Structures are given as structure tokens and as C-alpha cells.
Amino acid sequence: MNAATAPAPETEALARRLDSVRAPCQELLEDGLARLHSQAGALYGVEGPRQLTLLASSGLTDEEDLTDAERAARVGVEAGRPLLSGGRRRLNGSEQFLVVPCHLQGDVAAVLLAARGEGQVEQDLARLGSTLGIAVAADRARIHFTLEHRLAEAEAVKSQLEAYAVDLRSVYVSERARSDELGRTLVELEETYEATVRGLAIAVEAKDAYTGGHLFRVSRYGMALTAIAAPEHRDDPQFEYGFLLHDVGKLAVPDATLTKEGTLTEEEWMQIRAHPGSGRTILERIPFLAAASEIVYCHHERWDGNGFPQGLKGDEIPLGARIFPVADAFDAMTTSRPYRKAMPIEIARAEIVAGSGTQFWPDAVEAFMSIPIEDLEEVRSRIFTGW
């Protein structure tokens, strides 16, 4: 046994004192049972009307015996005089206990119980009661010490629990304050993120007046599609940021190329095709937009592998970039440009279906066709009023 599990010195002393009480009480019990010609009985110390301590027992072989004995002892304490108390079952050939309360200075200090035997006489009862009273008096102080020691231990535990409760409340209050502070910091951080995205969107819009409304609409179409085709990302800000900033790479394209109405030269076409890579370069330097940068980089890939800049095919294309082309194409077809009029929604929907499995991810097309036309019209007709 190591130091951590060894009994404390006061515990060992208490055990020795209890042994010193029980040993003489066992002798007194055996002597009393012999005088009363009984083979079974018990001796209880009395600390109050309802508080009994079993000091010795003999011939009581199981819990039911002891339960009957304690019940009879309580009857004797309340009566304050010798009596016969019935048990619930036959005990060692007897149906009753002889109960002998032992008085000390007017109080019942102990109770002797003997299974009813033959030949007991009133003189034996009186003499036995006097003997037990004197014997128990010598040890009563020790019993009181034991009880007081246990009460002191209980008070110490209670004090420790109260101190622990105070500490626990202090920790709770501190953690609650810390949680509130973290919550405020998170809100401020999210506001900073949104301000950064809005700032980039404004910069892209400044390159092309048409782009502002386009960014707004495709982000709405894209998130509606995501909620159906990839519901686990329906509230993912990285998808919304990616849709909203898909053309951020055009900041690196010369204005003359972006606004040119005629046919582009090969060099100008190469400048346009480079904008997904430029967009990724811009966003990947911003930690919270790193995931969105993959949508930006791949938003011109096609399901059949004929897109750019990498020529990715099918599931090689990141999930957000598989969804986005449907939203982008639909908005382009249903928005008027200087060189053409907007296409009716029904015809644009038919074009989307025709591109399923070639230009577009079939699951995204299926999700798009499940969106009510009135919802698409509501987004298309909204007037973009700026960021």
C-alpha cells in the first residue's frame, strides 16, 4: 500500500477505539445470552431514540435476522422496560426476542436482545440490566467521540464542496465573459470578411458597369442551386464568396480589352483567358478566401473537359465550380447587352438543358430545372442598387 492509499493516523486510532468498544460488548453479550439460556441475540448502543449502533451479535446469521433484531431493539428503547417483541419469522426455534433496555442516569444506554429461551427469571433480567448499564457507561464516551469525529469529517467535506461551488461559479462567470468576448470578436471578424468581399466586388464593378448586377444575380442563382445540388454547402460562405468574386481576375485585364465591342485579337483573347488564374492569385493571398479561390480559378471549366484554364473534366472540377457555370450562363442569356437583347427565361432554360452532360454538370442542370420560374424571374428583375 503506498502513501496515497494508506489510512490516515486518526483513522487507525478511531478503528482501535471501536475495537476496544466491541470486544468487551461481545463478552457482555455472550454472558447475557448464557444467563438467559439463549443461542442468539445482539447488543445495541443507543445514541438517540432512532439512532442505534450494533456493538455485538451472536447467532444472527443473515440480514433478515439483524433487521428483526433492530426492529425489536427500537421497540425496547421506546418502551424503556424489558419486554417480549415478536419477530416476523421463527428465529432459532423462537418466535420472539426478549428485549432488555439498559439504563444509565435515567436514559437507555444500550439494549440487549435474546431469542426467547427457557428458564429466564425476573431476577436475572434485573441483574443483567444493571451489569450492562455499568459496562456500557465506560465506553459511551468513546461512542460519542466516534460520532462527533464523523460529524466533523462531514462538516469538512461540506466546506470543501462549498469552496468548490464558489470556484466553479467563478470559472463559469469567467468562461461566460470569455465566450461573450469571442462571440463579439467573431461578429467583428465576419463583418471584416464581408467588407473585404464587398470592396473587391466594387473594384470589379468599377471595371465594367454591367458586372455589378451580374455578380449580384449569379451569387443568388448559385446559392439557390447549391441548396438543392449540394445542401451541405447551402450556408457555406466560401461558395457565395466564390460566386460573387468569380470575375475578380478581370482586375488584371486591360480596360480596352474588357470593353471592346468588336472581335478580340489573339493577344486580347489570351488576356481574357488568363483572368481565372489572376483571380486565384488575388484571393489565395487572403486566408479566409483560399477555398473560394478554387471556384474562381475553375469557373470556366466544362463538364466534358473542353473548358479552361486546365481542361478539367467531370468530377475533377471542384464542386462549387461545377455548380457555377449554370448560374453564369443563365444570367448571361437572360440579360440584355449592347449587341443583343435578353433571351426569354423559357428559351434560356431549354439551352441549359441542351448543355447538360457537355458544358454543364447534369446534377446542377437537374437542380436548376427544379427552381420555380417565378423565383428565377424575381432575381432577374431585381434592380441592383450597389454594395
Q: CA of 344: how far to CAs of 75, 328, 331, 352, 376, in Å?
A: 100, 16, 11, 13, 12
Read off φ and ψ for residue 305, nearest 5 degrees.
Answer: 90, 5
Peptide bond before residue 309 is cis, with ω within 30 degrees of 0: yes
95 CB contacts (<8 Å, ≥6 apart)? 86, 87, 116
- Taking alpha carbons only, the member of 342, 378, 355, 337 closest to residue 224 is 378
Helix (H) or strand (E) holding 253: none
- Backbone φ and ψ for 230, nearest 5 degrees, come out as -145, 70
| Number of C-beta neighbours around residue 348 at 10 A | 19
CA–CA distance, 248 with 293 (Å, rounded to integer)? 10
The kind and range of the H/E element at 53 are strand 51-58
Query: Per DSSP, what are the bridge partners of residue 56?
Result: 43
Active site residues: 250
Q: Which of 156, 142, 154 is nearest to 14 (CA)?
A: 142
Q: Which of 377, 352, 378 has its CA nearest to residue 366? A: 352
Residue 358 has a CB neighbour count (10 Å cut-off) of 12
> Cα-atom radius of gyration of the chain, to the nearest Å?
46
Which residue is it, cell 435474546? 114
Q: How many residues comprise the chain? A: 387
Nearest to 133 by CA among 148, 112, 116: 112
Spatial distance between the Cα atoms of 323 and 127, rounded to a whole number of angstroms: 103
